Amino acid sequence: MVEVKHDNRTYRYCRNSEYEVGYWIGIEGKRNNMFNGPHCKIPMMYYRVLQNEALRLGYSITEFIPKSKPEKIKKIRAKKKAKGSISIF
């Protein structure tokens, strides 16, 4: 979990799973355009500012990049044989 202090406000980076892109929420501080209130999602235009601040504090860039999903192996089915007759539903 990444926590960053920016302009006397605390923000946290959250992610639902390691395969999805995360989001920033505000934790504490006074309200402004960037901080809407505690536990509210931050507008996307501020993500880069908070990410750069986190990188400056020593967090790894891999925390912000989602992993690629493993490919599912498709099972090959046998081709259906024609019966040679007409089907009526």
Q: How many helices (H) and strands (E) are present in the chain, helices listed first? A: 1, 3
For 27, counting Cβ atoms within 10 Å of its Cβ (0-12 exposed, 13-18 middle, 19+ buried), the class is middle
Dist. CA 77–CA 19, nearest whole Å: 29
pTM over 0.75, yes/no: no
Q: What's the pLDDT tens digit per position in 49-68?
A: 999 999 999 999 998 888 88
Listed by start position, the domains of the chain span: 2-63
Give the three-state DSSP class for 46: helix
Per-residue pLDDT of the chain (89 residues; tens, 9 = 90+): 899 999 899 999 998 888 888 999 999 988 888 888 888 999 999 999 999 999 999 999 998 888 888 888 877 776 766 666 676 76
Do the beta carbons of residue 9 and residue 26 sit within 8 Å? yes
Please answer whether residues 9 and 35 qualify as being in contact, where contact means their C-beta atoms are separated by less than 8 angstroms.
yes
